[in-house]
Structure 1
Amino acid sequence: MALNSLVARLPYPSRGVQKGVGLAAIVAQAGIGVTGSVVRVTGSGLGCRTWPQCQPGSMVPVRHDELHAVTQWIEFSNRLLTGLVIAVAAIAVLTAWRVHADHPRKRLLALAWTMPGGVVLQAVVGGMTVLAKLEWWTVAIHFLASTPLIWCAVLLLHGFLEGDEPPRPLVPPAARTLLVVLTVAMWAVLVAGTTVTGAGPHGGDPDTHRLDAPIETLARVHSGLLVGYLLVLAVFGLMLLRAGAPKRLWQRYAAVWLVAVAQGILGFVQYALGVPEALVSLHVLGSALVIITTAALWCAARDRGAPAPRANFPEPAGELTAAG
């Protein structure tokens, strides 16, 4: 009760502030995955040999005969960025809590709490990854754990901008079912992508174990699942055409096509060129954009009404006197 009273005293966030916080949550959750890929492709994954310390007995990089200073600082800088993600997560909770103080928004508050909860989860998984010496499957889990957080961040943004009415579908039941299939297919593509990475040349450290499987086969499975994702997306579009979907939904649909096709082309070029480091990080960014656009399409396929206006409170006595 004391915390609720304290939060209620904070300035009420405007619609612009709420939207900005939601966008910041998306950027933070997606961005930390991209910076993590930079750590991996530069071979800096074990620049900090332990966790939560960087080196035994030190929280920060120290002079080391076997580790280059740049390698240590790349990994350490990525850990520092986690602090920024924590700050954004805390702001998201406070913003949602302040809105909730005026009108009960339990769903919005729950979505906001997934942000700091996800940071804690990722910190634990990241620590396990370091302690396991970057075994490929721990790196895969570390990446995959970030994907639902990106999805939840998109839902959080929409939560700030919409109401809490029961969702009213804007597409036929069959199309809604197909949208679920599309989402499952998206995660199947992401999981398959981690196996390609696990067998690829960028393990985060020269001595880390790699997945002992033919990368050509893994890449074919990955690309085949992407084709399946696009086929489901195409059928979903035909259903939208038949149902006469609203313009906003068509815009989200077009964005998914644009990002997914670009990601497929990038993956092909990346494979053909021998997986250059820069393209790996771009591909990770593309994965995040696929999640973001698919989640946005999901949100656009239903309507929860407009957000409730801020409750009216009595004006301060000074303002009443001035107005009189």
Structure 2
Amino acid sequence: MVLNSLVARLPYPSRSVQKAVGIAAIVAQAGIGVTGSVVRVTGSGLGCATWPECQPGSMVPVAHDELHGLHQWVEFSNRMLIGLVILVSVIALITAWRVHLDRPGKRLLALAWTLPSGVVLQAVVGGMTVLAKLEWWTVAIHFLVSTPLIWLAVLLLHGFLEGDGQPRWRVPPIARTLLVVLIVAMWGILIAGTTVTGAGPHGGDPNTHRLDAPIEMLARVHSGILVVYLLVLAVIGLTLLRAGAPKRLWRRYGLVWLVAVAQGILGVVQYALGVPEALVSLHVLGSALVIISTAALWCEARDRGAFVSHENSQEQAGELTAAG
């Protein structure tokens, strides 16, 4: 392929470069969700009244009698950040592609392809959200589409740093099943959280429709699923204790506890204080950290073999040639 030939001409990225690219992908995917929450809590969701243009006939904010200039620029700036996220995703794809040409296996490249594809999908969903005048369920979908991309970015980072063999689990079968239950509960928390947001005071625009449901009941469901998540996490800890899990896995496990409990406390404080704007964005950041820490635990629970560096593969090839 012509593209393979072009990518092959690029210098092979060092392990530190691969790690940096993976971390950048995680930060970009998580960060766009946080900046989106800033748009919402500042009431700037319809600062740009249409999509892909900001205002009819203009791609950038223009003076408008009915729209505050600050709201326009907040929403426009968030749209521009999508371009940065796409750029980071493309860099991650090119990096993974270059590594793929020297390492067997297609998993790393497949993971990398999901990021730019997902960001484009996210941008389209964002446009539909604006055109739908920020109906609460479209805002919920817009947020939820971004959550798998954070998860996949974590998997991509680990893909750069590990081998590409079939996974060998470091935990017993019961723990593997519980990890799946934990992940399902995590997404249940996120989905329930969007309903609380949908019924809450921050809709992105004062005139947007809100979810007509008791916010107290929705908040109880949201917190109840978090309790389930923590209970499952506790049982996973017991299985790891019985199995004699390695220290690195325990560190990942402890990180999940730290992030999840902090997020739960933040949610309680946020609700008690009447959902102040700053805490909303912190809660969205906490959601991203829960996804990241849970994905990191999942990755650490299995072993795909040691990372094979470009330099080592070259040395091995030289030794085989000399032996022949």
Shorter-chain TM-score bucket reads: over 0.9
Could you tell me which residue of structure 1 aligns to residue 228 of structure 2? 228
Distance (whole Å) between structure 2 residues aligned to residue 122 and residue 110 of structure 1: 18
**Where in structure 2 are the equivalents of 1:119-268 lying within 5 Å?**
119-268=119-268
What one-letter code is carried by the residue in structure 2 that aligns with 1:212?
Answer: D
Name the CA shift for 1:177/1:313 in 2 (closer, same or farther; >3 Å).
closer
CA shift for structure 1 position 31: 0.1
Could you tell me which residue of structure 1 aligns to residue 308 of structure 2? 308
Report the aligned-residue RMSD: 1.2
The secondary structure found in structure 1 opposite 2:53 is coil
What one-letter code is carried by the residue in structure 2 that aligns with 1:265?
Answer: I
CA shift for structure 1 position 9: 0.5
CA shift for structure 1 position 306: 1.0
Distance (whole Å) between structure 1 residues aligned to residue 231 and residue 90 of structure 2: 39
Offset from partner CA, 1:208-265 (integer Å, 9 cap, x none): 0000000000000000100010000000000000000001100000000000000000
Could you tell me which residue of structure 2 aligns to residue 103 of structure 1? 103
1:33, 1:143 within 8 Å by CA — same for their partners in 2? yes
Gaps of 5+ in 1: 316-324
CA shift for structure 1 position 104: 2.6
CA shift for structure 1 position 175: 0.5
CA shift for structure 1 position 153: 0.2
Offset from partner CA, 1:193-215 (integer Å, 9 cap, x none): 00000000000000000000000
Offset from partner CA, 1:157-195 (integer Å, 9 cap, x none): 000000011000000001100000000000000000000
CA shift for structure 1 position 312: 7.4
CA shift for structure 1 position 314: 8.8
Distance (whole Å) between structure 1 residues aligned to residue 122 and residue 296 of structure 2: 23
Could you tell me which residue of structure 2 aligns to residue 318 of structure 1? none
What number of residue pairs does the alignment pair up?
Answer: 315
Distance (whole Å) between structure 1 residues aligned to residue 70 and residue 168 of structure 2: 53
CA shift for structure 1 position 79: 0.2
Question: Are 1:284 and 2:284 matched, yes or no?
Answer: yes
Distance (whole Å) between structure 1 residues aligned to residue 314 and residue 42 of structure 2: 58
Could you tell me which residue of structure 2 aligns to residue 321 of structure 1? none
Name the CA shift for 1:6/1:265 in 2 (closer, same or farther; >3 Å).
same
Identical-pair percentage: 83
Name the CA shift for 1:26/1:314 in 2 (closer, same or farther; >3 Å).
closer
What one-letter code is carried by the residue in structure 1 that aligns with 2:285?
Answer: L
The secondary structure found in structure 2 opposite 1:201 is coil
Could you tell me which residue of structure 1 aligns to residue 39 of structure 2? 39
Distance (whole Å) between structure 2 residues aligned to residue 262 and residue 314 of structure 1: 46
The secondary structure found in structure 1 opposite 2:43 is coil
2:46, 2:133 within 8 Å by CA — same for their partners in 1? yes
Name the CA shift for 1:238/1:51 in 2 (closer, same or farther; >3 Å).
same
Name the CA shift for 1:234/1:313 in 2 (closer, same or farther; >3 Å).
closer
Could you tell me which residue of structure 2 aligns to residue 76 of structure 1? 76
Distance (whole Å) between structure 2 residues aligned to residue 281 and residue 232 of structure 1: 27
1:103, 1:311 within 8 Å by CA — same for their partners in 2? no
Name the CA shift for 1:106/1:287 in 2 (closer, same or farther; >3 Å).
same
Distance (whole Å) between structure 1 residues aligned to residue 52 and residue 91 of structure 2: 24
CA shift for structure 1 position 308: 2.0
Distance (whole Å) between structure 2 residues aligned to residue 105 and residue 55 of structure 1: 46
1:99, 1:105 within 8 Å by CA — same for their partners in 2? no
Name the CA shift for 1:50/1:314 in 2 (closer, same or farther; >3 Å).
same
What one-letter code is carried by the residue in structure 1 that aligns with 2:172?
Answer: P
The secondary structure found in structure 1 opposite 2:23 is helix
What one-letter code is carried by the residue in structure 1 that aligns with 2:123?
Answer: A
Name the CA shift for 1:314/1:153 in 2 (closer, same or farther; >3 Å).
closer
What one-letter code is carried by the residue in structure 2 that aligns with 1:307?
Answer: F
What one-letter code is carried by the residue in structure 2 that aligns with 1:81?
Answer: L
The secondary structure found in structure 2 opposite 1:175 is helix
The secondary structure found in structure 1 opposite 2:55 is coil
Distance (whole Å) between structure 1 residues aligned to residue 261 and residue 148 of structure 2: 22
Hey, which bits of structure 1, 4+ residues long, moved more than 3 A? Answer: 311-315
